[in-house]
Amino acid sequence: MKMLGLSQRDTTFLLIVVFLTLVTPILLQPFPEGSGMATFNAGYPDLMQRFAIFGIFAIGFNILFGLTGYLSFGHAAFLGVGSYSVVWMYKLLGYNVVPGILLAVIVSALFALLIGYVSLRRSGIYFSILTLAFAQMSYNLAYSVLTPLTNGETGLQVYTNDPQVLMGENSPTSPHFFGIVMNESAKLNVGGWEFTFNNGYYFCAIVAILVFYLSLRIFRSPFGLMLRAIKTNQTRLNYTGLNSRPYTLAAFVISGMYAGLAGALMASMDPLAGAERMQWTASGEVVLMTILGGAGTLMGPILGAGFIKYFENIFSKINDNMLHQWFAWMPDGIEDFLIGLSHFFVGKSWHLTLGLLFMLVVIFLPGGLVEGGQRIAKAVRNRRSKGDGAEAQTQPAE
Amino acid sequence: MSKSNFTRRGLLKTGAVTGAGLAMPTIFTSGAMAFTNEPTGDTVTFGFNVPQTGPYAEEGLDELRAQELAIQHINGEGDGGMLNTFSSKALDGTGILGKKAAFVTGDTQTKSDAARASAKSMIEKDGVVMINGGSSSGVAVAVQGLCQEAGIIFMAGLTHSNDTTGKDRKANGFRHFFNAYMSGAALAPVLKNAYGTDRRAYHLTADYTWGWTQQESIQNATEALGWETVNNVMTPVGAGDFSSYITPVLNSGADVLILNHYGGDMVNSLTQSIQFGLRDAQANGKNFEIVVPLYSELMAAGAGENIKGVYGSMNWNWQLTDAGTQAFVKSFGEKYGRPPSGSAHTCYVQTLLYADAVTRAGSFNPCAVAEALEGFEFDGMGNGPTLYRAEDHQCFKDVLVMKGAENPTTEYDTLEIVEVTPVDQVMYEPNHPMFGGDEASLGECNDGA
Amino acid sequence: MDAIILQILNGLDKGSAYALIALGLTLIFGTLGVVNFAHGALFMIGAFVAVTLQRIFNLSFEQIDPTKKDFLGNPLKVEVPYVEAWFGADVGDWLIDWSVPLAIIFAIPVMLLVGFVMERGLIKHFYKRPHADQILVTFGLAIVLQELIKYFFGANPIQTGAPDAFSGSMDFGVLLGFDPNVIIYPYWRLVYFLFAAIVIGAVFSFLQFTTFGMVVRAGMADRETVGLLGINIDKRFTLMFGLAAAVAGMAGVMYTPILAPNYHMGMDFLVLSFVVVVVGGMGSLPGAVAAGFLLGVLQSFASMNEIKSLIPGIDQVIIYLVAIIILLTRPRGLMGRAGVMEE
């Protein structure tokens, strides 16, 4: 089966991704409500939205870094610009997300063109530091001097006295897509399980599938091939008389637009744009997501994004009460020991777990999480060829 | 399940009713409840959203200690703490409206985005009816806005910017903590007594919204005394080394340095000012003085000996001698082996105030709770008689003026109470220009239905 | 004029810290070809060696003082440091007072050890890996180190003062012929500057005048050839990593009286030190030092009221602005060599 200009393999791949994305609200909710393990459920709207949004951010980053090898440390600037654009559109026009998203993509493209044009005059770490410098300047100014434009530390938000000229009598008072309100959900109760199907998540998911398809096409196109050639040996490419700069600039702008889109979606789900979105830590986060998942692979960055967001949102919420519940059945001494040990890894120490996992993944899986997935798949295939009808590979969604 | 089910709740309520019988799948939208996260079981869940990583992590952990204590007291465990001294007797130690109080925790990271993500997970996943905590104004304003949109109550933790109950005030948000205006108003008379009316002040101000409101407030208050403002210099947040901003102070003609900094910034700017000899200097024939408008235990501990003799203000301190304070310090001290910090106190009180308001309102509906809190007058919570003003959801109570102690006996009494400024002196109109003027509005209460 | 001299002093002081961290980073880049995102953490660990020593000297036993009460109204327990009980109050107080300079003595072996363990245990396996992997693994390590420090020392800044003899300030202007009380400068900051100058000088002489240094410099220039000559580069590189860690650690120890240490101070310095290294030029030690001082001084000038009133917010972005201008006018920073980290 071939469709949309993809090979058969890619079509199957895309269909799997589409399927997984659509059933995410079910896949991420493996434990029944009220059970001790329910803490590890991730199927609530905000986190699913974040998976999709940071997935988009990482897919875009991968087009630049994974294909050309140019490591940008300033992509958060585009994320922030995207968010600010959307919130400004809310303030001026109204809560429909479409004008904001369009503006965000355009503004971030222009911004990326400017920064890319300057930064791409250098390569390697010099390029990285140039992008970092631009992003940090944006962040520092947004936090302080540009407060009239960004509302500084508090974050840009909508006030009741904003013009909102397109707002009608019956318009929703929160972000919506032509009347489909982002924060509305349908809930499905089956037995002890509760699944939440949220408008905002599906909006993000559909956008994510579209841009994933786009990146698939870019990866397989002559343009993508050219970008890979730049990564392999730029000098040799230049000797052939070919100027590689327009290609890298195009890749930079495209990935900047992805970042702007991701920022726009963040503000579409939650009408607030904070300056921290532009800080170097946010730029670093997308770098980590991409490398952790597997730079240059299609699924890798999405896996990396999901991995990091999961730990940030789930592990940070585990507190002593929960630990006591989990370990209550054990003898006192062992219970205390286990709780003491857990203190190193959960709650206020969730950073430590993340740091350790970064190290473990990069040490044992040089190709990132994707390599882990491939190894599991291979092991399963080997087992199955021995006549064992084990389940097909199930990679975590996102 | 089809997408048409998303439209509105009328249709879906029937779906819920028909499905309620057996293990049939039931579908309903978030609007199916009477209000957001209406508690239906035998527990009600609060969300304690505090910084657990980043520079304010210790403050956050102290808030968590106090919140856990408040939950115990509400559920009738422990010695009851301030419930024994609280003027309202609606809470009787059997939970809230027959439900046990439970809680979930989250990490704000002192970033607006992370704080909102954490708050959203509490609302969407854990079904909380109230969020409490936090250690910075940016986070407080961001989470308050979220709670307003989601239709639950926000009981602010440590947030001192005028904006929280000023231009960013929200119908679903309530602040017990004092604010920058009150700090200025409370400090001014003390500064006048200590340093006279003929002073020239130099301000170093953290370059973000809290810093600005703090600076504006203290400048107004001191200029009303007759002080002159020589200069106001913005410093980047987290600058670390403030030397470049401190060296011009001595030759500027100023004789007072006002540090509008908080947390680590204040620890460093104060320490470095003293290293540069400002405290030993003479200017205009007077001793050079340093003032820190907002104090906290975190800063006092970090700055160590450097705070000796430096004036500042606080919302509450464990050294107060009223019955409420003593009850709280006793139960906190016995549980954790240390006196509570000001941020712990405000979170503890806010949690009890919320529980009390629910009980008095007879409902968890945020609009009913808000009504019960608006205009509520109470006592016995450590700050003397207190009013939750209806117009802006700000608490009005006495403010403490503090001074770095000359001879502290333990690590906990490095600050001493100089004066308890009566509430009348720190009052202001709800439409005060520093609080958004006439344009500021709470908006409509939102219960999420 | 006095304002400018003061800002130059401030800038040299800031620059000292930047230069010391950048020096270590460049040593690791240049010799091992590793992007070390954990370098800020090494600086932080150094600072906490000073904190730990202060804590050790302050280890106390409790004596009950019935005349005073604690916050719950019980008789107050007074802490008496063991060092005072063992060596007498005078020596004990002196030890506590001088804990920061004394910490240098402990920091060197501790940091060398930390460096060895890091290099042998982890970094060694990443020489041949892409820079991206190095970033991920060292960033992970930095998080782990900083969380461990947070676990044991908490998140609050910890005041770690200079010895009383150095805690005041001196009238530096008089030395230069100014009126008294115009240029007042803290002793400790002058000490820090001198200390930085000595360490930088020592590292350069070590590389310049010892055989060991010669081999390392040759290795930096052409690793493969040196390896072919049968010289065991690896062993020397391990030592270089330890040396870089020790430089970062000592910089951290001496910085504690200026900046009360906290667990995330390493991250705060990390980005800045990378900018410094790159502005100096990849693989160039003199470049790193020069860039450190240049950026420090420029940052101080940008913080002057006169300049801030002309361009609001300039002090917040000056470092990045200068970095952009330098990298656009000089492709490899101030003194970078071609082909290092350019691919």
Could you read off the pLDDT of A289-323 as tens digits, one per residue?
999 999 889 889 999 999 999 998 998 888 887 88
Spatial separation of the C-alpha atoms in residues C272 and A133, rounded to whole Å: 10
C129: phi then psi, degrees, rounded to nearest 5: -85, 160
Contacts of residue A349 in chain C, CB cutoff 8 Å?
147, 150-151
Q: Say yes or no for a CB contact (<8 Å) between C271 and A136.
A: yes
- Cβ contact C320–A133 (<8 Å): yes
pLDDT at B16 over 50: no
Nearest by CB to C305, from B248, B250, B413: name it. B248
Beta strands at C60-69 and C75-81: parallel, antiparallel or unpaired: antiparallel
Residues of chain B with CATH 3.40.50.2300: 43-178+318-392, 181-314
Distance, in Å, from the CA atom of A352 to the CA atom of A346, rounded to the nearest integer, reads 8
Position A392 pLDDT exceeds 80: no
- Kindly indicate the confidence band of residue A190, based on its pLDDT and cuts at 50, 70 and 90: confident
Asked if C316 lies within 8 A of A145 by C-beta distance, the reply is yes
The pLDDT value given to residue B387: 96
Alpha helices of chain A — where are they, by DSSP H? 8-22, 24-27, 45-68, 76-92, 97-119, 124-143, 147-150, 199-220, 222-232, 234-239, 245-269, 280-293, 300-314, 320-327, 332-342, 350-364, 369-385
For B105, the closest of A188, A271, A319 (CB atoms) is A319
Chain A residue numbers with beta carbons less than 8 Å from the beta carbon of B118 are 313, 316-317
Query: What DSSP state is assigned to residue A166?
Result: T
What are the pLDDT digits (tens) for B236-280?
A: 888 889 999 999 998 899 999 999 999 889 999 999 999 998 988
pLDDT at A1: 57
| Minimal CA separation from A75 to chain C, in Å | 15
Residue A235 CB-density burial (10 A; 0-12 exposed, 13-18 middle, 19+ buried): exposed
C63 Cβ neighbours under 8 A, 6+ residues apart: C77, C78, C79, C80
Distance between CA atoms of B198 and C71, rounded to whole angstroms? 39
Extract the tokens encoding A58: 């990482």
Least CA distance to A124: which residue of chain C? Answer: C342
Q: What is the pLDDT of residue B419?
A: 93
Instruction: List residues bridging with B100 in a β-sheet.
Output: B43
Look at residue C343 in the predicted model and tell me its pLDDT.
63
**pLDDT tier at A2 (50, 70, 90 boundaries)?**
low
Asked whether the predicted pLDDT for residue C87 surpasses 70, the reply is yes
CA count, 13 A, side-chain hemisphere, B208: 28
Residue of A nearest to C312 (CA): A145
| Exposed e or buried b per residue across A115-141, where buried means at least 16 C-beta atoms within 10 angstroms of its C-beta | bbebbbebbbbbbbbbbbbbbbbbbbb
**A324: contact with B, CB 8 A cutoff:** no
Distance separating alpha carbons of residues A233 and A264, to the nearest angstrom: 35
Chains that touch B (3 or more CB pairs under 8 A): A, C
pLDDT at residue number A386? 66
* CA dist list (Å): B3 to A29, A185, A198, C279: 20, 10, 11, 56
Average pLDDT over residues B280-309: 90
d(CA A368, CA C123) in angstroms, rounded, equals 18
**Chain B to chain C Cβ contacts (< 8 Å):** 121
Strand partners, A188: A195, B27
User: CA–CA separation, B409 vs C74, rounded Å?
Assistant: 13
Asked if B301's CB is within 8 angstroms of C315's CB, the reply is no
ipTM of the complex: 0.89
Of the candidate ranges A212-216, B328-332, C60-64, the one whose mean pLDDT is the lowest: C60-64
pLDDT tens digits for C281-326? 888 889 999 999 999 999 999 999 888 888 888 988 999 999 999 9
Tell me the one-letter amino acid at A330: M
Nearest CB to B302 within list C7, C157, C300: C157
Residue contact A355–C140, C-beta within 8 A: yes
Q: Which two tokens stand for residue B377?
A: 């007058």
Q: Please, which residues bridge with residue B313 across strands?
A: B294, B401
Measure in Å the smallest separation between the Cα of C25 and chain B Cα atoms. Answer: 21
- Give tens-digit pLDDT for B94-124: 999 999 999 999 999 888 889 999 999 999 9
Candidates A147, A358, A365, A371, partner chain C, best to mutate (most C CBs within 10 A): A358
Residue that wins the pLDDT comparison between A189 and C78:
A189
- Give how far A142 is from chain B: nearest CA, Å: 10
Closest partner CB to C259 (pick from B241, B251, B303):
B241
* Partners of residue B107 in chain A, C-beta under 8 Å: 316-317, 347-348, 350
Q: pLDDT over 70 for what percent of chain B? A: 93
A8-279 CATH pick, 1.10.3720, 1.10.260, 1.10.760, 1.10.3470: 1.10.3470
The domain B43-178+318-392 is placed in CATH, from the list 3.90.79.10, 3.20.20.30, 3.40.50.2300, 3.30.1310.10, at 3.40.50.2300
Query: CA dist C86 to B27, C61, C101, C127, Å?
Result: 74, 12, 21, 49
CA distance C224 to chain B (A): 42
- CA-derived radius of gyration, chain B: 23
Q: How high is the mean pLDDT of chain B?
A: 89
Cβ atoms of A140 and A278 within 8 Å: the answer is no
Run of H or E residues at B325 = helix B323-336
In this complex, the residue of B236, B243, B267 whose CB is nearest that of residue C10 is B243
Looking at domain B181-314, its CATH architecture is 3-Layer(aba) Sandwich (3.40)
For the segment C145-167, the average pLDDT, to the nearest whole number, is 88
Tens digits of per-residue pLDDT, B353-388?
A: 999 999 999 999 999 999 999 999 999 999 999 999
- The pairing of strands B130-133 and B43-50 is parallel
User: Measured between beta carbons, which residues in chain B are less than 8 angstroms from residue C168?
Assistant: 277, 280
- Cα-flanking dihedrals φ and ψ of residue C144, to 5°? -60, -45
Find tokens 């060292």 and name the residue.
Answer: C138
Exposure letters C306-335 (e unless 16+ CB within 10 A, then b)? eebeeeebbbbbbbbbbbbebbeeeebbbb
Residues of B in Cβ contact (< 8 Å) with C159: 267, 271, 302-306
Residues in C 105-134 with any Cβ partner in A closer than 8 A: 122, 125, 129, 131-133
**Residues B29 and B14: beta-carbon distance below 8 Å:** no
Does residue A389 carry a pLDDT above 80?
Answer: no
Tell me what the pLDDT averaged over chain C comes to.
Answer: 87
Test mutation, A49, A316, A346, chain B, max B CBs within 10 A: A316
B138: which 2 tokens? 């940016």
Q: Please state whether C79 falls in left (phi above 0), alpha (psi between -120 and 50) or beta.
A: beta
Residues of A with Cβ-Cβ distance to C278 under 8 angstroms: 125-126, 129
CB A249 within 8 A of CB A113: yes
CB A244, CB A237: distance < 8 Å: yes
- Give the phi and the psi of residue A268 in degrees, each rounded to 5: -75, -30
Check pLDDT > 70 for residue A107: yes
- Nearest chain A alpha carbon to C336: A126
What is the pLDDT at residue A76?
95
Q: Which residue has the higher pLDDT, C217 or B56?
A: B56
Question: What's the token pair of residue C318?
Answer: 């000056």
Q: Does the pLDDT of residue B424 top 80, yes or no?
A: yes
Burial (CB count within 10 angstroms: exposed 0-12, middle 13-18, buried 19+), residue B432: middle
Ranges of each domain in chain C? 2-58+102-329
Least confident range of A205-219, B194-208, C77-91: C77-91
Domain ranges in chain A are: 8-279
Q: Phi/psi of residue A96, each to 5°?
A: -65, 130
* Chain A (150-169) residues lying within 8 Å, Cβ to Cβ, of chain B: 151-155, 157, 159-161
pLDDT for A398 beyond 90:
no
d(CA A129, CA C322) in angstroms, rounded, equals 12
Chain A residues within an 8 Å CB radius of C136: 288, 291-292, 358, 361-362
Average pLDDT, stretch B409-428? 91
Work out the burial of residue B449: count CB atoms within 10 Å of its CB; fewer than 13 is exposed, 13-18 middle, 19 or more buried: middle
What's residue B96's pLDDT? 95
Q: How near does any CA of chain A get to the CA of C140, in Å?
A: 4
How sure is the predictor about A34, in pLDDT bands with cuts at 50, 70 and 90? confident
CB contact (8 A) between residue A359 and residue C321: no
> With an 8 Å Cβ cutoff, are C333 and A126 in contact?
yes
Say whether A125 and C141 touch across the interface (CB within 8 A): no
- Residues of chain C found within 8 Å of residue B275, distances taken between Cβ atoms: 167, 169, 186, 188-189, 257-258
Mean pLDDT lowest among A301-305, A327-331, B42-46, C313-317: A327-331
In the sheet where B395-396 sits, what is the strand order?
A: B377-378, B386-388, B395-396
The predicted pLDDT at position C65 comes to: 75
The lowest-confidence range among A123-137, A315-329, C259-273 is A315-329
Phi, psi of C220 (to 5 degrees): -65, -35
Contact B272 C182 (CB under 8 A): no
Give the C-alpha separation, B140 to B137, whole Å.
5
Within 8 A by CB and 6+ apart from C273, the residues are: C18, C21, C22, C25, C39, C40
Cβ contacts of C156 on chain B, cutoff 8 Å:
58, 298, 301-302
pLDDT for res A124: 86
CB B181 within 8 A of CB B157: no
* C-beta atoms of C167 and B277 within 8 A: no
User: Who's near C105: CB < 8 A, 6+ residues apart?
Assistant: none
CA distance A40 to B245: 48
